[in-house]
A and B are shown apart, each in its own frame.
Chain A
Amino acid sequence: MSNYKITVGIEVHVELKTRNKVFSEVLNDTTAPVNTLVNEIDLGYPGTLPSLNENVINYGILTSLALNCTVTKHMHFDRKNYFYPDLPKGYQITQLNTPIGTNGYITLNSGKKIGIRELHIEEDTAKSLHQDNKTFLNFNRAGVPLLEIVSSPDINSKEEAGEYLEKLKELLLYLEVSDCKMEEGSMRADVNVSISKTNDLGCRIELKNIGSIHEIKDAIEQEALRQEQILSNNGTLKEQTRKYDASKKETILLRNKEVGNDYRYFKEPDLPYVDITDEQIETIRKKLVLLPDERRKIYLSKGIIPINVEKIIKNKEYSDYLNNFIDTDLDFKVASNLLLGDISSYLNKELISFSSLSLDKERFKSLVDSLSSKKISSKILKEILSSYLTTTDSIDTILKSKGINLNDNLSDLEAIIKQVIIDNNEAVLDYHNGKEKAFQYLIGMTMKQTKSSFSPQAVKDTLKKLLDN
Chain B
Amino acid sequence: MEKLTKEEVLHVADLARLKLDENEIEDYAYKLKAIMDSISLINSIEVTDNEMTISPSTAKISLFKEQENKTISKADALKNAPNKIDPYIYVGGSIDE
Instruction: Report which A residues bind B (CB closer than 8 A).
Output: 18-20, 24-27, 33-40, 43, 51-55, 57, 76, 82-85, 128-130, 133-139, 208-209, 243, 254-255, 262, 264, 267-275
- When the two chains form the complex, which single residue of A35, A37, A137 contacts B91, counting CB atoms closer than 8 Å? A137
Q: Are B67 and A19 in contact (CB under 8 A)?
A: yes
Residue of B nearest to A138 (CB): B88
- When the two chains form the complex, which single residue of A38, A135, A275 contacts B90, counting CB atoms closer than 8 Å? A135
Which residues, 13 to 39 on B, are CB-close (under 8 Å) to A? 15-17
- Whole-angstrom distance between the Cβ of A268 and the nearest chain B Cβ: 7
- When the two chains form the complex, which single residue of A26, A38, A52, A82 contacts B61, counting CB atoms closer than 8 Å? A52
Residue of B nearest to A139 (CB): B77
Cα-based distance from A92 to B95 in the complex (angstroms): 18
- When the two chains form the complex, which single residue of B15, B16, B57, B88 contacts A35, counting CB atoms closer than 8 Å? B88
Q: Are B89 and A134 in contact (CB under 8 A)?
A: no
Interface contacts (Cβ under 8 Å), in number, total: 127
Contact of A273 with B61 at beta-carbon distance under 8 Å, contacts A20-B68, A26-B70, A137-B88 already known: yes
Binding site of A, secondary structure by majority: helix, strand, loop or mixed? Answer: loop
Contact of A34 with B87 at beta-carbon distance under 8 Å, contacts A43-B77, A52-B61, A254-B96 already known: yes
Contacts of A272 in B (CB 8 A): 54-55, 57-61
Q: Are B74 and A25 in contact (CB under 8 A)?
A: no
- When the two chains form the complex, which single residue of B16, B54, B57, B95 contacts A135, counting CB atoms closer than 8 Å? B95
Cα-based distance from A14 to B16 in the complex (angstroms): 28
Q: Mark B52-93, 1 if CB is under 8 A from A, else 0.
A: 101111111111111111111010011000000101111111
- When the two chains form the complex, which single residue of B52, B74, B89 contacts A137, counting CB atoms closer than 8 Å? B89
Q: Are B54 and A54 in contact (CB under 8 A)?
A: no
Q: Are B70 and A39 in contact (CB under 8 A)?
A: yes
Cα-based distance from A76 to B55 in the complex (angstroms): 10
**B97 interfacial contact with A, CB 8 Å:** yes
Cα-based distance from A52 to B60 in the complex (angstroms): 12
Q: Are A136 and B85 in contact (CB under 8 A)?
A: yes
Cα-based distance from A111 to B54 in the complex (angstroms): 42
**B94 interfacial contact with A, CB 8 Å:** yes
Q: Are B54 and A76 in contact (CB under 8 A)?
A: yes
- Whole-angstrom distance between the Cβ of A205 and the nearest chain B Cβ: 15
Cα-based distance from A51 to B66 in the complex (angstroms): 12
Contact of A53 with B64 at beta-carbon distance under 8 Å, contacts A33-B87, A135-B93, A269-B54 already known: yes
Q: Which 10 A/B pairs are nearest by Cβ-Cβ distance?
A: A54-B63, A267-B54, A136-B88, A34-B87, A19-B66, A25-B68, A272-B61, A25-B70, A85-B91, A269-B55
Contacts of A27 in B (CB 8 A): 69, 71
Q: List 15 A-B contacts (CB under 8 A).
A: A20-B64, A25-B64, A34-B87, A38-B71, A38-B77, A39-B71, A83-B17, A128-B95, A130-B95, A134-B93, A137-B91, A254-B96, A262-B15, A270-B55, A271-B61
Cα-based distance from A262 to B15 in the complex (angstroms): 8
- Whole-angstrom distance between the Cβ of B80 and the nearest chain A Cβ: 8
Residue of A nearest to B69 (CB): A27
- When the two chains form the complex, which single residue of A19, A26, A36, A255 contacts B74, counting CB atoms closer than 8 Å? A36
Q: Are B88 and A52 in contact (CB under 8 A)?
A: no
Cα-based distance from A159 to B40 in the complex (angstroms): 49
Q: Are A139 and B89 in contact (CB under 8 A)?
A: yes
Q: Are A39 and B95 in contact (CB under 8 A)?
A: no
- When the two chains form the complex, which single residue of B57, B59, B97 contacts A209, counting CB atoms closer than 8 Å? B97
Residue of A nearest to B88 (CB): A136
Inter-chain pairs besides A136-B85, A255-B96, 10 sampled, C-beta below 8 Å: A20-B69, A39-B71, A43-B77, A52-B64, A83-B16, A85-B95, A129-B88, A134-B90, A137-B90, A268-B54
- Whole-angstrom distance between the Cβ of A396 and the nearest chain B Cβ: 49
Q: Are A35 and B63 in contact (CB under 8 A)?
A: no
- Whole-angstrom distance between the Cβ of B43 and the nearest chain A Cβ: 12
Contacts of A85 in B (CB 8 A): 91, 95
Contacts of A270 in B (CB 8 A): 55
- When the two chains form the complex, which single residue of B58, B69, B89 contacts A25, counting CB atoms closer than 8 Å? B69
Q: Are B77 and A82 in contact (CB under 8 A)?
A: no
Contact of A51 with B92 at beta-carbon distance under 8 Å, contacts A38-B77, A43-B77, A139-B77 already known: no
Most buried by B among A43, A53, A267: A43
- Whole-angstrom distance between the Cβ of A331 and the nearest chain B Cβ: 42
Cα-based distance from A134 to B59 in the complex (angstroms): 43
Residue of B nearest to A88 (CB): B89
Cα-based distance from A441 to B63 in the complex (angstroms): 69
- Whole-angstrom distance between the Cβ of A305 and the nearest chain B Cβ: 42
Cα-based distance from A39 to B68 in the complex (angstroms): 12
- Whole-angstrom distance between the Cβ of B51 and the nearest chain A Cβ: 10
Residue of B nearest to A86 (CB): B95
Cα-based distance from A133 to B93 in the complex (angstroms): 5
Contacts of B87 in A (CB 8 A): 33-36, 138
